[in-house]
A = this chain, B = another copy of it.
Amino acid sequence: MSAALIDGKAIAADLRARVGAGVGQLQAAHNLTPGLAVVLVGEDPASQVYVRNKGVATKDAGMASFEYRLDKDVSEAALLAKVTELNEDDNVHGILVQFPVPPHISQQKIIETILPSKDVDGLNPVNAGRLASGLDALTPCTPQGSVMLAKQTLGNLEGLHAVIVGRSNLVGKPAAQLLLQENCTVTLAHSRTRDLADLCKTADILVAAVGIAEMVKGDWIKPGACVIDVGINRIDAPERGEGKTRLVGDVDFQAASEIAGYITPVPGGVGPMTIACLLKNTLDAACAQAGLEKINL
């Protein structure tokens, strides 16, 4: 192994501590406590874990945490009414509806109902458009955290070639905008891309966000590159015993770490940054809603 590990846990812990300090400043100077509301529909076990972790992290940062658990059969209208109630609640500065929602509910309707100013997931088209236009915006947490890791690792990203594999609204496309703001040359690749291996090999920064276990192979990596692995995939791990599983990313970590200069582990890379950026977005949203400048963390 030659690549240096990018310690997402440590970098996220540091960011969370700085957000916590910012919350303290906001309380001291303006008697304002940022509040994050998380809405969970149904009982998906993974979603329950995410929601619980978000609640703990929110309180740890000194913010108010509001959790709403709705039955999996809740009507779309009732869910949208809950969102509207939270839009109007002055104690709530950020709203996150945990996706996926059951198929009878339109995810897009939820996204467009959340007030852009409270849209800490950054998925409302107004925020996507402000990001794409180079304006101040609430930005999706996972790509935001991914780019922070690259910056923390490499410093100035100007002129580097960033290749993003995967073009989702939640990760790939906002990551492209953020890396463009860092003055990278940015390539968006996806399932229809030809010669993906050769393309990846031109990347100084490679962001893998496709959701396919270990799809990116070691020999796709440019020697010395910075590899940001957004994927979290659970695969069978019979070597650990019958029925056991383990988490892997979208990159073949063992092979890639022989060649890359820097690489994020899975777990412990991008994952912890996502929650830290959610807290940061909630703090920023609280400041903006109160007409205050963003707190410099």
Contact = CB atoms under 8 A, between A and B. Distances in A.
Interface in A127-142: 127-135
B173 A132 contact: yes
A199 interface: yes
Interface string A282-293: 000000000000
A161 to B, nearest CB: 8
Interface residues of A, number: 34
Interface majority SS (helix, strand, loop, mixed), chain A:
mixed
A76 to B, nearest CB: 18
A135 B177 CA distance: 18
A135 B129 contact: no
Interface string A116-159: 00000001111111111111000000000000000000000011
Interface of A: 108, 123-135, 158-159, 161, 167, 169, 173, 176-177, 180, 183, 185-190, 192-194, 199
Number of copies: 2
Contacts of A193: 159, 185
A1 to B, nearest CB: 29
A188 B190 contact: no
Contacts of A186: 187-188
Contacts of A132: 125, 128-129, 131-132, 169, 173, 177
Given A125-B130, A129-B125, A185 B169 contact: no
A236 to B, nearest CB: 32
Contacts of A180: 167, 173, 188, 190
A133 B188 contact: no
Contacts of A128: 128-130, 132-133
A133 B169 contact: yes
